Amino acid sequence: MRDAATHGLAFLTRFQNALNSLTRKPWLVEVESDFLFGGTPLRQFWIAAVPFDDAIEAVLSKCPHGWGARLVSSEILTADQIAALKLRTGDVMELGF
Q: Which residues of the chain have pLDDT under 50?
A: 1, 19-23
The domain tally of the chain equals 1
Asked whether residue 6 is domain-assigned, the answer is: no
Asked whether residue 18 is domain-assigned, the answer is: no
Asked whether residue 72 is domain-assigned, the answer is: yes
Q: For position 96, what pLDDT does the model report?
A: 84
**pTM of the predicted structure, to 2 decimals:** 0.71
- Taking the chain, what is the end-to-end CA distance rounded to the nearest angstrom? 54
| Parent domain of 55 | 25-95
What is the sign, positive or negative, of the torsion defined by CA atoms of 58, 62, 74, 79? negative
- Cβ atoms of 54 and 90 within 8 Å: the answer is no
The helix/strand/coil state of 62 is coil
* Residue type at position 88: R
Q: For position 45, what pLDDT does the model report?
A: 95
- Cβ atoms of 50 and 90 within 8 Å: the answer is yes
